[in-house]
Chain A
Amino acid sequence: MSDLSRRKLIAAGIAAAAGASGLAAADVVAKRYGLIPPDYGGPYGAGETLTYAAQRILTSHSLAREFPPSAISKPPFANEVLSLGEEFKRLQAGGFADWRLAVDGMVARPASFSLAELKSYPSRSQITHMACEEGWSYIAEWTGVPLSHILDLAGVLPQAKYVVYFSIQRDWWDSVDMADALHPQTLVAHSMNGAELPVGNGGPLRLRVPRQLGYKNVKFITRLTVTDDLKRFGAGLGSASPEGGYAWYAGI
Chain B
Amino acid sequence: MRDSALVASSYAMAPAKTVPSRHSALVRVTHWITTLCFLALLLSGVEIVISHPRFYWGEAGNINTPTLFKIPIPASRSSVPTGYGYVLPDQNGWSRYLHFQAAWVAVLTGLLYVISSLFSGHLRRNLLPGGADLSWRSFSTAIADHLRFKPPSEEESWSYNLLQRLTYLLVIFVLFPLVIWTGLAMSPAIASVFPGAVSVLGGQQSARTLHFFVTVFLVFFLLIHILMIGLTGFRNRMRAMITGRGMNKEPA
- Report whether B96 and A251 are in contact in the complex, using a CB–CB cutoff of 8 Å: no
Give the CA-CA distance A44 to B193 in the complex, in Å.
25
**Which residues of A have CB within 8 Å of B101?**
44, 46-48
Question: What's the least CB distance linking A54 to chain B, in Å?
Answer: 9
Question: B61 — which chain A residues lie within 8 A by C-beta?
Answer: 136-137
* A 202-252 contacts with B by CB, 8 A: 210-213, 244-247, 251-252
- The reply on B234 being an interface residue by CB < 8 A is no
A59→B94 CA distance, assembly (Å): 25
B92 / chain A contacts, CB cutoff of 8 Å: 133-134, 246
A residues near B60, Cβ cutoff 8 Å: 71, 73, 129, 137-139
Contacts of A48 in B (CB 8 A): 97, 100-101
User: B120 within 8 Å of A by Cβ?
Assistant: no
- Is A77 in contact with B192, judged by CB distance below 8 angstroms? no
Could you say which residues of chain B place their CB within 8 Å of the CB of A251? 187-190
Chain B nearest CB: distance from A37 CB in Å?
11
Q: A46-B101, A129-B60 are in contact. Are A80 and B78 (CB under 8 A)?
A: yes
A43: chain B residues at CB < 8 Å are 97
For the complex, is B59 an interface residue (Cβ under 8 Å from A)? yes
A62 interface residue per 8 A CB criterion: yes
Could you say which of B6-14, B47-55, B111-119 contacts chain A?
A: B47-55
| Chain B residues, Cβ within 8 Å of A92 | none
A-B contact count (CB 8 A): 125
Q: Is A75 among interface residues, defined by CB-CB distance under 8 A?
A: yes
Beta-carbon contact of B189 and A211 below 8 Å: yes
User: Is A6 engaged at the interface, CB distance under 8 Å to the other chain?
Assistant: no
Cβ-defined contact, B192 with A131, below 8 A: no
Report the interface size class on chain A.
Answer: 35 or more
Interfacial chain B residues near A131, Cβ < 8 Å: 186, 188, 204
Known: A73-B60, A135-B52, A136-B61. A212 touches B93 (CB 8 A): no
Given contacts A51-B100, A136-B61, A211-B188, contact A65 B49 (CB under 8 A): no
B52 — nearest CB in chain A belongs to which residue? A135
Cβ contact of B64, chosen from A51, A58, A77, cutoff 8 A: A77
Residue of A nearest to B55 (CB): A135
Known contacts A47-B97, A77-B62, A246-B96; A134 and B51 CB within 8 A of each other = yes
B198 contacts A79, CB within 8 Å? no
| Alpha-carbon distance A246/B186, docked complex (angstroms) | 17
In the bound complex, residues from chain A placing their C-beta under 8 Å from that of B48 are 133-135
- Tell me whether B79 and A59 are in contact (CB under 8 A): no
Q: Cβ of A114: which chain B residues have Cβ within 8 Å of it?
A: none
Residue ID in chain B nearest A251 by CB atoms: B189
Chain A, Cβ-Cβ closest to B93: A245
Question: Are B204 and A137 in contact, with the CB atoms below 8 A?
Answer: yes
B87 to chain A minimum Cβ distance, whole angstroms, is 12
- Number of B residues, CB within 8 Å of A: 41
B70 to chain A, nearest CB (A): 12
The verdict on A129 contacting B51 (CB below 8 Å), with A63-B192, A252-B190 known, is no
Does A55 belong to the interface (CB within 8 Å)?
yes
Instruction: Flag if A80 contacts B192 (CB, 8 Å).
Output: no
Which residues of B have CB within 8 Å of A80? 78-79
B69 at the interface (CB under 8 A from A): no
Given contacts A64-B188, A129-B60, A137-B204, contact A246 B93 (CB under 8 A): yes
Interface residues of B in 73-130 (CB under 8 A from A): 77-79, 92-94, 96-98, 100-105
Is A50 positioned at the interface, with any CB of B under 8 Å from its CB?
yes
Give me 11 other A-B pairs in contact (C-beta within 8 A), A58-B189, A131-B188 excluded: A47-B97, A48-B100, A79-B79, A129-B188, A134-B92, A135-B208, A210-B188, A212-B188, A245-B97, A252-B187, A252-B190
Q: Residues on A close to B: CB < 8 A?
A: 43-44, 46-48, 50-51, 55, 58-59, 62-65, 67, 71, 73, 75, 77, 79-80, 129, 131-139, 210-213, 244-247, 251-252
Q: Please, could you name 29 A-B residue pairs with CB atoms under 8 Å apart, sorted by A?
A: A43-B97, A47-B100, A47-B103, A48-B97, A48-B100, A51-B100, A55-B189, A59-B189, A64-B191, A65-B192, A73-B65, A75-B64, A77-B62, A80-B78, A131-B186, A131-B204, A134-B52, A134-B77, A135-B208, A137-B59, A137-B205, A138-B60, A138-B62, A210-B188, A245-B97, A247-B96, A247-B97, A247-B100, A252-B184
- Which 7 pairs between the two chains have the least Cβ-Cβ distance? A47-B101, A245-B93, A251-B189, A44-B97, A135-B52, A136-B62, A252-B187
